[in-house]
Amino acid sequence: MLEEINQVKRIKNGDRNAFKELYKNNVSPLFMFMKQFSIDNSKVEDWVQRAFIKAYENINQFDGISLFKTWLFKIAINEMKMDFRKANSIKNISVDEVEIASEMEDSDLQWELVMKDWLMELSEAKRMVFILYEIEVYSHAEISEMLNIKESASRTILTRTKVWLRNKWNESEK
């Protein structure tokens, strides 16, 4: 964290190499997180790129209270939300992607596809809280900051989402 604070200070003083270091440390985790919301890699790459551009342009607004990664994820989530609002859809799946998925025989991969389908049935808030908490392992405090919700709301949303997923699992077992 101390290294990150120093990098941010260097960036604020105009050191572009410091931003390159932050980029290298955060681009892969951000891409993998955003990949949970779209199977279109070009769309995910666009969100990641725009998030880094906005982070660089607005680095003086970063207060250092949270981790840079938390702040960056929040920016990326907002970029994604803007795209979703523009497209007025949550996910666009091409026919080719469906055919490829249906040809897969690996049961783990099939399970992952089923789980992603279930997650895509959730509201945006439920999906984000679940992924941030269970997959990305953020705390409820960090999630509340990223999504501009109360910490208690994050906990409630997660609990309801787990109940819903458990019910989906039970239905699929019948």
Examine the domain organization and report whether 122 and 158 are in the same domain: yes
Dihedral sign (CA 20, 46, 12, 147): negative
Between CA 126 and CA 154 the distance in angstroms is 9
Structure-model confidence comparison of residues 43 and 1, the more confident one? 43
pLDDT for res 40: 84
Examine the domain organization and report whether 115 and 84 are in the same domain: no
The verdict on residue 98 lying in a domain is no
In this structure, the dihedral spanned by the alpha carbons of residues 42, 47, 48 and 50, taken in order and rounded to 10 degrees, is: 120
Can you spell out the DSSP letters for 10-53?
Answer: HHHTT-HHHHHHHHHHHHHHHHHHHGGG-S-HHHHHHHHHHHHH
Between CA 61 and CA 55 the distance in angstroms is 9
* Domain CATH for 123: 1.10.10.10
Single-letter amino acid code for the residue at 95 = V
Structure-model confidence comparison of residues 78 and 93, the more confident one? 78
Residues 148-160 as b/e (b if ≥16 CB within 10 A, e otherwise) read ebeeebbeebbee
Examine the domain organization and report whether 118 and 170 are in the same domain: yes
Number of domains in the chain: 2
Reported as a single tens digit per residue, the pLDDT across 27-86 is 999 999 888 887 788 989 999 999 999 999 999 999 888 889 889 998 998 888 888 777
Candidates 11, 1, 128; CA nearest to 65 is 1
Phi then psi dihedrals of residue 90, to 5 deg:
-85, -40
* Domain CATH for 71: 1.10.1740.10
Q: What share of the chain is helix, strand, coil (3-state, %, to 5)?
A: 80, 0, 20
Examine the domain organization and report whether 17 and 84 are in the same domain: yes
Residue 13, classified by CB atoms within 10 Å of its CB into exposed (0-12), middle (13-18) or buried (19+), is exposed
Examine the domain organization and report whether 173 and 117 are in the same domain: yes
End-to-end CA distance of the chain: give it in Å, rounded: 48
Examine the domain organization and report whether 135 and 80 are in the same domain: no
Examine the domain organization and report whether 12 and 52 are in the same domain: yes
* Domain of 27, in residue numbers: 1-92
Examine the domain organization and report whether 80 and 113 are in the same domain: no
Per-residue pLDDT at 110 exceeds 80: no
Cα 142-147-149 angle, rounded to 5 deg: 90
* Whole-prediction pTM: 0.64
